Amino acid sequence: MGGSHVSACPELMLSNPYVDFIIRGEGEKAICDFLNEFQNEKRYALVGSLGWKESGKIYLNPIGENFPIQDLPPPDLSYLSKIHYLFEGKPMRFIITSRSCPHRCSFCSVHTTFGTKYRRNTVERVLSEIKKSYELGYRVFDFEDDNLTFFRPEMKQLCEELIDAFPKKDVRFVAMNGISYISLDPELLRLMKEAGFTNLNLALVSSDKLVRETTKRPHTVEKYIQIVQEGFKLGFQITSYQILGLPMETLESMIQTLQFNAGQPVLMGASLFYLTPNSPIASNFPERNESDIFLARLTSMAIPSEHFDREDIYSLFIITRMLNFLKSAQIPKDNLASLNDTFRILENYDSRSFLGVKLFKKLLEEKKLYASAPQGLIFLDKFRYKVFEMVFSGLDKITTLSGGNIDLKDLNSFMSLKEPNLELNSY
């Protein structure tokens, strides 16, 4: 076995009676060396990155060097069916141009699998792989790098080559794993748009300066605003991700980021923090047991702290969806619509949006959130209306994805909390 889970929990995996061998980190060279020893002299101690058992004892070899990234052949996709991976109806495949990341964000586990040395493939090899995949019928390419644009000159060159290679503009490029906005600039954004990139997935994490410093993120809000404004002007569909539940953050700080992004022309992505074993931030916690590791998943909404609990995180997650629902209203750029006008716009979209407005109004009237199910409306008792009030009472307006604005003065009559008492850190 291999991969990120094995690399994070090697002893746990080997303690399973059905697991005989594991490979930590990158596996291309390790699997070749292992198979050679497995078929011949079985000198497993010589195989870098290998873990194995002997007489019930677990052995973990040091992580070995992998093949240079430029020497790794592209995957052979000629025998795979393209119908299983579609993006808006078109065949999609994944591309990786680099491995690891030069940043050291404490919550990230990328270095557990890919090591700390950032390596990038050549533009020529990446372009060749895309061209061959195009000949096989692929039309959407998802770059899954952990830091796609860190080397700006190479990324700009790749975009220029893609522009020349696909003059018919019948390909589309996305980067669903996210792009570090710190390495973007107006010229690179323009080239990406011309090459066929349509979406920008940005990782804000937090607008709170103290949180960014504590998690060792080198990003700034000033740079973020610049990239969002430039990307919106170029016509990118922008999604911005916030992490909810970082151990060092407070409820008030998370609300600050939510309110900040509510004023940007971005779709808001809520990523729930989960503690990955052997990530840098894990050193601040007691050693994890098997039941703790089971909670290292998004849906557990762990880990509560003295500043917030799971119901707070759950409520913020749903409030993010509410804000996105309002942001979907097609209000012309720089125009201002009242909340009631926004409701009327949304009600006319489809039956789902009509129901969404109904549930939103019911929340305001009863201070209770309901979900729609085949058997009728279900009361969601874990949702905290108080958190909803804290978020919305601090908003004067919401900026939609189309660049218009929703005036929230209509909301004041529903809100009992007129002046939110939040102690916020600077951006």
pLDDT at 277: 86
Count Cα neighbours of 203 within 13 Å in the Cβ-side half-sphere.
22
φ, ψ (nearest 5 deg) of residue 49: 75, 0
* Distance, CA of 128 to CA of 119 (rounded, Å): 18
Please report where in the chains the tokens 């610049």 appear, as a residue. 226
Q: Cβ(276)–Cβ(109) under 8 Å?
A: yes
pLDDT at 425: 59
* Distance, CA of 2 to CA of 225 (rounded, Å): 39
Element of type H or E holding 338: strand 336-338
pLDDT, tens digit, 9 for 90 and up, residues 114-123: 999 999 999 9
pLDDT, tens digit, 9 for 90 and up, residues 24-69: 999 999 999 999 999 999 999 999 999 999 998 999 999 999 999 9
Please report where in the chains the tokens 């916020």 appear, as a residue. 424
Q: Cβ(373)–Cβ(239) under 8 Å?
A: no
pLDDT at 326: 98
pLDDT at 260: 98
CA distances from 253 to 41, 212, 244, 260, 324 (A): 58, 11, 10, 11, 20
pLDDT at 249 over 80: yes
pLDDT, tens digit, 9 for 90 and up, residues 144-197: 999 999 999 999 999 999 999 999 999 999 999 999 999 999 999 999 999 999
Token digits of residue 2: 């291999």
φ, ψ (nearest 5 deg) of residue 408: -100, 15
- Neighbour-count burial for 23-40, b at 16+ CB within 10 Å, e otherwise: bbbbbebbbebbeeeeee
* Distance, CA of 53 to CA of 21 (rounded, Å): 7
| Mean pLDDT calculated for residue range 88-104 | 96
Mean pLDDT lowest for which of 225-234, 274-283, 288-297?
Answer: 288-297
pLDDT at 417: 46
Q: Cβ(74)–Cβ(122) under 8 Å?
A: no
Token digits of residue 147: 């830091």
pLDDT at 407: 96
φ, ψ (nearest 5 deg) of residue 372: -90, 130
Among the listed residues 197, 207, 153, 190, the one whose alpha carbon sits nearest the alpha carbon of residue 176: 197
What's the mean per-residue pLDDT of the chain? Answer: 93
Give the pairing of strands 237-244 and 199-205. Answer: parallel
CA distances from 42 to 10, 21, 45, 387 (A): 20, 12, 9, 59
**Banded pLDDT at 418 (limits 50, 70, 90):** very low
Among the listed residues 310, 107, 314, the one whose alpha carbon sits nearest the alpha carbon of residue 205: 107
pTM attached to this predicted model: 0.90
**Of residues 173 and 279, which shows the higher confidence score?**
173
Q: Cβ(333)–Cβ(404) under 8 Å?
A: yes
For the stretch 24-27, contacts whose Cβ atoms lie closer than 8 Å and that sit 24 or more positions apart, written own/partner, are 24/49, 24/51, 24/60, 24/63, 25/49, 25/63, 25/64, 25/66, 25/112, 25/113, 25/114, 25/115, 26/66, 26/99, 26/113, 26/114, 26/115, 27/2, 27/3, 27/66
What type of residue sits at position 88? Answer: E
What residue ranges define each of the domains in the chain, with the CATH number in brackets? Answer: 4-60 (no CATH), 73-294 (3.20.20.70)
Please report where in the chains the tokens 């061998």 appear, as a residue. 21
